[in-house]
Structure 1
Amino acid sequence: MARFIYSFVLLLLAPVLITYLWVFRGKKQAAYRIHFNERFAYGISSLPKHALLFHCASVGEVLAAAPLIKKYKQQHPNDKIIVSTNTPTGRAQIEAIFQESVNCVYLPLDFYFTARRFINTLRPKALCVLETELWPNLFAHAKANDCPVLVLNARLSEKSMKGYQRVQPLTNVLMRAVTYLASHNEQDASRFMKLGLREDKIRATGSIKFDIQLSEPEQIKARQLKSLLSGRYVWVAGSTHPLEHEQVLAAHKLLLKQYPTALLIIAPRHPEQFEPVASLLATQQFRMTRRSNMQSLEESQVLLADTLGELKCLYGASDVAYVGGSLIERGGHNPLEAAAFSVGVLSGPHTYNFAHIYPELINASAAITVFDSESLFEQLHTLFNDNDARMQLGRNAHQVLMNNQGAINKTLALIDKSLGRNI
């Protein structure tokens, strides 16, 4: 009955959902209107049947899952893989990372008939969902088709747990459909058990986000860019959002008074923000160069990273990284890409999306919290004025990363177990 009510309400909301995706999101980013039929599980018949299906909601999940998917492909080269996502930027990231080695599709909206068509058409050998993308109809139809459902790299805050408890009958549908769940830690595992997931279905594997591996091309690109910027203090503001861009630029304006040759590399989180940030830079009279049209950087005060898939390498070319989505209430973004290059992290106070990572970084003196543009400037000034402290911050970040690796192998073992391998 709970799923019937959920499906009925979702059907009533269909005009709103479709209008939002096509009109509002499509106006901001035209790519939302491409492959739109996939949102209803049409146009997918050419995709391979009985593939392993990974679902990564957007860019962050794609980047986290990429090493896991690559290692699975190495271990099982004959298996077909489909990676689904919700956003055009997620799709672009999948295509950039994997080219044609995996198939890419939009996950359909969770209407009863679209979820059924999706599962019945593809008949995946397993559904592997990254983090906490829990869709009642998708999960129920997968279970009905004897398709194992795995929730990987799962996290659940106290607030989210209480939200699921408020719709416990529907939550029960989800928990019954889960074959295995790989949680970040025992605390997350305990919260899922409180929602009704059986203890024998849960494994605390750690976070796969710690299992970052730097490829040789990534290291070469970072070294080349760092060499190009040699002699300048460079900081990256990665994955920034509206109302945060302005704070970052205010901090940089203060920094330039102390270090006139300092360079800010600003990388907006979403492509639709590239032009607004360019306009903001022009309005505030910063000398700017675009990453997509690299010319001489000698006179530039800001490098606008208007490209996709390069943020990790940009962190690697910097002295200090500010990780965005944290001076505003967006929950923060992944600081571990900077840590992989031994670059220390600055972050705002709003990091609840990475509550399993930031406390450990802060406790290990590997990350520093800032609260506004002025405190961001003060920390940058302190670190640029103290090379030893800046280098130690980066070394500490890298050590935290190394201390927490191993989740990918545990997660792969869980996938194999769900498929009847190595039991």
Structure 2
Amino acid sequence: MDLLLYLCLGFWVPVVAALDFKYHHQDAMEAFLKEVAQTHDSITYLHSIGKSVSGRNLWVLVVGRSPKEHKIGIPEFKYIGNMHGDETVGRELLLHLIDHLVKNDGKDPEITRLINNTRIHIMPTMNPDGFESVEEPDCYFSNGRFNKNKYDLNRNFPDGFENNSVPIQAETQAIKNWLKSETFVLSANLHGGALVASYPFDNGVPETGTKQGHSIAPDNDVFEYLAYTYSSKNPEMSAGTSCKNGVGFRNGITNGYTWYPLKGGMQDYNYIWAQCFEITLEVSCCKYPPEETLLDFWNSNKHSLIEYIKQVHLGVKGQVFDVNNNPIPNAIVESSGRSHICPYRTNKFGEYYLLLLPGSYTINATVPGYTSVLKQVTIPENIKNFSALRVDFHFPFQVTNTSSTRISCSEVPLYMYFKSHSGRLKSHYMSLILLTFVSIFHIK
């Protein structure tokens, strides 16, 4: 009767079916994503970044005020789920996150501001072939973990520490191409088989601390904070809950190498070569739990998923200009004392984003052949404002013939011959505990 009244009055109210708490196979997932994109076309953009080995689309749903293109000053964030096809909870969590975001835009002030100030990319499944191949769901292992060609996608990326000779798979190549097409700042990939937020590095060399049982990135303080931001909002994860096939983790976080070494992982690749801080989220002890538990997983992870997105606004951002106010692509912009082995450079708009905790820093902008420009900055606690501190750099010369294509380092083991490291390696947020865990269950 109410719907009929609205139609008689000349109004049209979109009717969107509720997203059930059940497993959504490829057809059902695509139908949901297409319905969202059509119903909420002003804030969403659905596209495929490539295809799986079997030809299934690798769908990404973008949420933001400018969903189809990057806007200067608006950071790019991404979530990737179901990298291992039999680790299924993350896939459903991301579908429900999409549902939550679009339905609360304009209703929930926090969600509205998040969408206003962030471009959010969500890939529910990176391994649709693996998911579809699972015939007998299991809590610990099934053949669906791998892609169609029987490769583990989280061992399939170039490695920063040792040669990784495995053939690059279609799904991996699609991610690599995607990373080159956007200026991603922060990311997480969702797995199952444990309850922990794991952060780089997953692999290492003695110079990054492997003899001490960990492998520490130059931005270790930020990574510990990011991991704890997620775990602290998840009651079971933050409690260090131990799964039957492993051990518990203090505060629900761990350095990846401390847990167990992993060659060719996606989070290390993001950080080293794509200038994107990524962590790995293990969100369920059981990899493929019964459908009736999915609502509980959503309730446990909803606040963590949203709080983690907000961290893309940590630190400092800005642009680098020449004397004529033209943006300078490929300028190196980094914080002194935490240089990256593959330097972080500005994009085609001369933009940079550096995730840093509140505090005082020296930011160094460098254009090859010219004197660097240094600025002392004090970063406040600014997350609630949904914007990093803006600091622009102006060089007193004209730049000509500068390629807008971002310069990247060769995808070789850059750390193989590394002789020194940042002075900020030590843990600033909490102590690391050496965990004696053998990776026989292949979780990450």
Q: Same fold (TM over 0.5)?
A: no
Higher helix share: 1
Q: TM-score, normalized by length of structure 2? A: 0.29
Higher strand share: 2
